[in-house]
């Protein structure tokens, strides 16, 4: 009984130390590492201009302010995506098993620019840069991170699409979009308020799983 009590006490101390470390951790210190990892995986430069924040709790909460992802070299704009604010609630224990369980992902103030060049290349096709380390080149062939997102909230999105080959363009906005999938592989509840050009678009209901 005493041995069990000692082990329990040690575990409590270790947990307290871990919490204290996380509570004082400045995640902004890892900004260059995050930016470098995204560029190694996609071949596009990620720029985080605002703060990164970590909030302890169950689940763990992460947030980022003012970030952008570079466009394809041939694209008409320097950035493909510009983001004002994002926050994510993550379950901690599954991370130890390479499982990313996101309870809630919220994106606010997003500008998204999609385009296709005259040869038919799309700017949403990503690839590691030439000369990248072998681990970045073969990342897709390794053990992938199991990612599941239960709820997505999107607000204030502006998007534009340009097709250089067909000389066509279209733009619109998404005021709000909510997607919820309570069970992996289960139905998705959605609620949408948007515009395509000047035409309003609203939708609500339940859709089948993404794989279907």
DSSP string, 117-171: -TT--BTT---PPTT--HHHHTGGGS---EEEESEEEEEEEEEEEEETTTTEEEE
Sign for the CA dihedral angle at 130, 132, 133, 137 comes to negative
Provide the mean pLDDT of the chain.
84
Residue 191 confidence (pLDDT): 96
Q: How far apart are CA 193 and CA 159, in angstroms?
A: 14
**pLDDT digits 0-9 by tens, 75-132:** 999 999 999 999 999 888 887 788 888 999 999 999 999 999 999 899 999 888 776 5
Kindly compute the dihedral angle of the four CA atoms of residues 36, 59, 27, 30, in this order, to the nearest 10 degrees.
-20
- The length of the chain in residues reads 212
101: which 2 tokens? 């369980």
Give the residue from 197, 199, 203 showing the smallest Cα distance to 176.
203
**pLDDT, greater one: 3 or 110:** 110
Which of 26-30, 31-35, 116-120, 132-136 is least confident?
Answer: 132-136
Residue 174 confidence (pLDDT): 96
pLDDT value at 179 more than 70: yes
- Note whether 117 and 74 are within 8 A (CB): yes
């Amino acid at each position: 009984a005493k041995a069990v009590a000692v082990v329990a006490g040690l575990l409590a101390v270790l947990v307290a130390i871990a919490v204290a470390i996380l509570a004082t951790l400045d995640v902004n210190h890892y900004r260059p590492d995050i930016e470098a990892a995204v560029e190694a995986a996609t071949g596009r430069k990620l720029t985080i201009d605002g703060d990164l924040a970590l909030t302890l709790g169950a689940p763990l909460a992460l947030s980022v302010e003012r970030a952008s992802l570079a466009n394809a070299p041939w694209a008409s704009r320097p950035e493909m995506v510009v983001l004002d604010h994002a926050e994510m609630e993550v379950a901690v224990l599954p991370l130890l098993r390479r499982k990313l369980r996101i309870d809630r992902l919220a994106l606010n103030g997003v500008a998204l620019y999609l385009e296709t060049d005259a040869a038919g290349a799309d700017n949403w096709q990503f690839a590691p840069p030439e000369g990248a380390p072998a681990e970045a080149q073969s990342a897709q062939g390794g053990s992938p991170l199991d990612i599941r997102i239960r709820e997505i909230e999107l607000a204030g999105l502006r998007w534009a699409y340009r097709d250089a080959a067909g000389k066509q363009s279209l733009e619109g906005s998404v005021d709000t979009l909510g997607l919820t999938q309570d069970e992996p592989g289960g139905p998705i509840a959605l609620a949408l308020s948007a515009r395509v050009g000047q035409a309003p678009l609203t939708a609500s209901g339940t859709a089948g799983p993404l794989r279907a």
